Amino acid sequence: MDTGMEWAGRHWLTGERVRVLTAEGRIRSVAAASGSNGEEGEAWIAPGLIDLQVNGIHGIDFNDPSITNDCIRSAVMYLHSIGVIRFCPTIVTNDKAAMLASMRRIAEACESDGTVARAVIGIHVEGPFLSGVAGARGAHAEKHMRDPDWHEYLRWEEASGGRIAMVTLAPERRGAVGLIRKLKARGVIVAIGHTDAGEEHIREAVEAGATMSTHLGNGARTMLKRHPNFIWEQLAEDRLWAGFIADGHHLPRSTLKAMIRAKRNKSILVSDANHYEGCAPGRYWKRNHHEVVLRPDGRLYMAETPDILSGAALGLHKGVENVVKFGIGSWAEAFAMASLHPAELMGMSGAGDGLTPGADADFIRYRASPDHELEIVETVVGGKTVFAKRGHVSSDSKR
């Protein structure tokens, strides 16, 4: 019998000191707590982070078909340690058999491990129906690019046990519009990305049911007609949410700021992290496909073409921190872009302010330093502490 737990901290939106009571894995109440607001070093409470694009993390590659259940579980535990409670493992362009094998691995881990199953929203398939144009394809393998194929999608659905949550595609590819309609009818989120589309293709994709732009401003050719172009078209389209990689490398600060201002409450932060997150700087041979360089500042790029990045090497918590550091938004705005906004896009319960009675007791406690460093001190999933920073006494406020 779960008799309930209690957490204290400052509410992420109001700054008020609150006590969050949980029972049976859900939030029972959020009540004002005594004590003055703003005690130094006091933790804040916010909804847990949701990352819709994680290729891998901390040495674990979701695109390696040989990874074990234990690897996937340890990736989940690591994500919890950086405040991410739910995420979409992202499978990228590869040959058909390898993509299916990676999807099967995720499905098996979900079926055998409740912690993994709870954390995985569903699989984000980024590719292989993408543009092969240099720049637009980013680090995706051109030789594996292909046109949209409903039958291939059905095999993904089977391999993943019905866990395909999102598909990123280039709408200019033959058959894309028809596939978008079918995916929408299936309840799958369709995202536009790695595209070289004309504006009319973007409009057609949205009419057919696309609702998201994958890492807008990246996965694009390096030289583009100033306007109109597919970036402006997506920025101005109010029906599209947009994912942004706020690692400080993928978009210049001014671009990130202008894009977030344009997308407002349809802005979503994603990490697009891969397994080089947490690795030592140096040169690596990525998935036996291309050589990459990881700089000490976290910039990860193709060794042959340094202008082209090869995914990101920073977790989502760093993106939240950067939104504040770069002067783009407040902590509350940054956290909303990495929790409430993706939850709304994915149709997940527990909307409101993320700390609503009746919602799943999934939240984080954090501290923010005066120079905008974010420290995750505790992650709570289903009313249980799944991560507590070493030295942090998580039980002091519980009964």
**Annotated binding residues for substrate:** 139, 218-219, 226, 250, 309-311
Which C-beta is closer to Zn ion: that of 48 or that of 248? 248
| 86 close to 121: Cβ distance less than 8 angstroms | yes
SS3 content of the chain, % helix, strand, coil (to 5): 30, 25, 45
Q: How far is the CB of 52 from Zn ion (least distance, A)?
A: 12
Q: How far is the CB of 92 from Zn ion (least distance, A)?
A: 7
Tell me, what amino acid is at 121? I
- x/- letters, 35..54, toward Zn ion (CB under 5 A): --------------------
Which C-beta is closer to Zn ion: that of 43 or that of 191? 191
Which C-beta is closer to Zn ion: that of 48 or that of 219? 219
- Residue 172 contacts by C-beta under 8 Å, 6 or more apart in sequence? 131, 195, 196, 197, 198, 201
Catalytic residue among 51, 272, 353, 360: 272
| 338 close to 328: Cβ distance less than 8 angstroms | no
Q: How far is the CB of 194 from Zn ion (least distance, A)?
A: 6
# binding residues, Zn ion (CB under 5 A): 1
Q: Enumerate the known binding-site residues.
A: 126, 139, 194, 215, 218-219, 226, 250, 309-311
Which SS3 state, helix, strand or coil, does residue 141 take?
coil
Interface segment toward Zn ion; rule CB under 5 A; list 27-35, 103-111, 216-224, 286-294: 216-224
Which SS3 state, helix, strand or coil, does residue 28 take?
strand
- x/- letters, 217..236, toward Zn ion (CB under 5 A): --x-----------------
Which C-beta is closer to Zn ion: that of 168 or that of 394? 168
Q: How far is the CB of 299 from Zn ion (least distance, A)?
A: 16
272 is catalytic: yes
Interface segment toward Zn ion; rule CB under 5 A; list 25-33, 94-102, 211-219, 357-365: 211-219
- x/- letters, 248..277, toward Zn ion (CB under 5 A): ------------------------------
| 233 close to 216: Cβ distance less than 8 angstroms | no
| 301 close to 310: Cβ distance less than 8 angstroms | yes
Which C-beta is closer to Zn ion: that of 83 or that of 219? 219
Which SS3 state, helix, strand or coil, does residue 270 take?
strand
Which C-beta is closer to Zn ion: that of 219 or that of 350? 219
Interface segment toward Zn ion; rule CB under 5 A; list 213-221, 273-281, 294-302, 337-345: 213-221
Work out whether strand 123-126 and strand 84-92 pair parallel, antiparallel, or are unpaired: parallel
d(CA 64, CA 22): 38
Cα radius of gyration rounded to whole Å, the chain = 20
CA 257 from chain centre, in angstroms, equals 19
Q: How far is the CB of 302 from Zn ion (least distance, A)?
A: 13
Q: Enumerate the known binding-site residues for Zn(2+).
A: 126, 194, 215
Query: Which stretches of 82-237 are DSSP H helices?
Result: 96-112, 114-119, 150-159, 176-186, 199-208, 230-236
Shortest Cβ contact with Zn ion: which residue? 219
Which SS3 state, helix, strand or coil, does residue 386 take?
strand
Q: How far is the CB of 55 from Zn ion (least distance, A)?
A: 9
Query: Which stretches of the chain are DSSP H helices?
Result: 69-81, 96-112, 114-119, 150-159, 176-186, 199-208, 230-236, 253-263, 316-325, 331-337, 340-345
Please list the active-site residues.
Answer: 272
Q: Which residues bind Zn ion (CB under 5 A)?
A: 219
